[in-house]
Amino acid sequence: MGQTSDLFGSIKKTISGGKSGSSLSSEDIVGGLKQALTLGAQKSAQRLSVTNGFLNDKAVEILMPPQAQKVEKTLRDMGMGKMVDDAIASMNHAAEDASKSAAPIFVNAIKNMTVTDGVNILKGPDTAATAYLRHSATPELTKAYTPVVDSALQKTGATKYWKEVFDTYNKIPFVTKVDPDLSSYVTQKAINGIFYYVAQEEILIRKDPAAQVTDLLKKVFGGKS
């Protein structure tokens, strides 16, 4: 695993006044953190924006919302599983399309990070940077994702499949009619999916020297002067 199992260890010592990593400046520390976050965000966006990036990944796959699970079970029991499967697949493909617009938003949020932000992140838990990005980037992600998701839902046929699913279900006698907000649901799930992998990338960069792919990352996270 290289010289250290905790890539942030020397930086935390620097912040608290220790000798290890004492040659690191605040600019080095925050610059390394920004580089790490940028790489992690870009990798996460690329991972989820490929074909079936959501659909074939159980960690982030978008399933029917909780309020629609009864709908899904009822229709599958009636032999209409393909209709439900088509609706689920189309939601996931819409999330893929939305993920293509994520990286520039993350980069912008990272650029605005201050030295104080950076120090607090480095002193925080293993996903402190992800929490920072979730707080600072979610409004812009939601704003950017919503029209992309709306367009993708039309393009992938999700709106049609969704309508078929719930029109079919709502015609069943004596059931309570259900019609969840498809766009907001897929938008939120797409955002949650990308933050899931940003968090995984952050943990990796903190713990694995092999993830330090630039000289600055090696200097900051590997404790090298």
- Measured CA to CA, the distance from residue 118 to residue 135 in angstroms comes to 14
List, in order, residues 6 or more apart from 130 with CB less than 8 Å away: 195, 198, 199, 202
Residue 139, in any domain of the structure: yes
- Measured CA to CA, the distance from residue 194 to residue 145 in angstroms comes to 12
- Note the pLDDT tens digit of each residue in 38-82: 888 888 999 999 999 999 999 999 998 887 888 888 889 989 888
The radius of gyration of the chain from alpha carbons, rounded to an integer in Å, stands at 21
Domain coverage including residue 160: 9-221
Find which of 127-131, 156-160, 205-209 is predicted with most confidence, using mean pLDDT.
Answer: 127-131
pLDDT at 19: 40
81-99 and 26-49 helices, crossing angle to 10°: 150
Residue 157, in any domain of the structure: yes
Does the pLDDT value for residue 36 go beyond 80? no
**Between the CA of residue 219 and those of 1, 22, 40, what are the distances in Å?**
16, 12, 18
Residue 2, in any domain of the structure: no
Residue 1, in any domain of the structure: no
Residue range 19-44: mean pLDDT, rounded: 73
Residue 4, in any domain of the structure: no
pLDDT at 209: 54
Does the pLDDT value for residue 2 go beyond 60? no
Helices (H), ranges, the chain: 9-15, 26-49, 69-77, 81-99, 102-111, 115-123, 128-155, 158-170, 182-207, 215-221
**Between the CA of residue 34 and those of 27, 31, 40, 108, 129, what are the distances in Å?**
10, 5, 10, 11, 10
Residue range 186-210: mean pLDDT, rounded: 84
Residue 3, in any domain of the structure: no
- Note the pLDDT tens digit of each residue in 77-102: 989 888 889 889 988 999 998 898 88
The burial class, CB within 10 Å (0-12 / 13-18 / 19+), for 223 is buried
Does the pLDDT value for residue 189 go beyond 90? yes
Task: Name which residue leads in pLDDT, 215 or 204.
Answer: 204
Residue 34, in any domain of the structure: yes
- Note the pLDDT tens digit of each residue in 112-153: 888 888 778 877 888 888 898 899 889 989 998 899 888 888
Residue 156, in any domain of the structure: yes
Domains of the chain: total: 1
Q: Which residue has the tokens 């992938």?
A: 156
- Whole-prediction pTM: 0.75
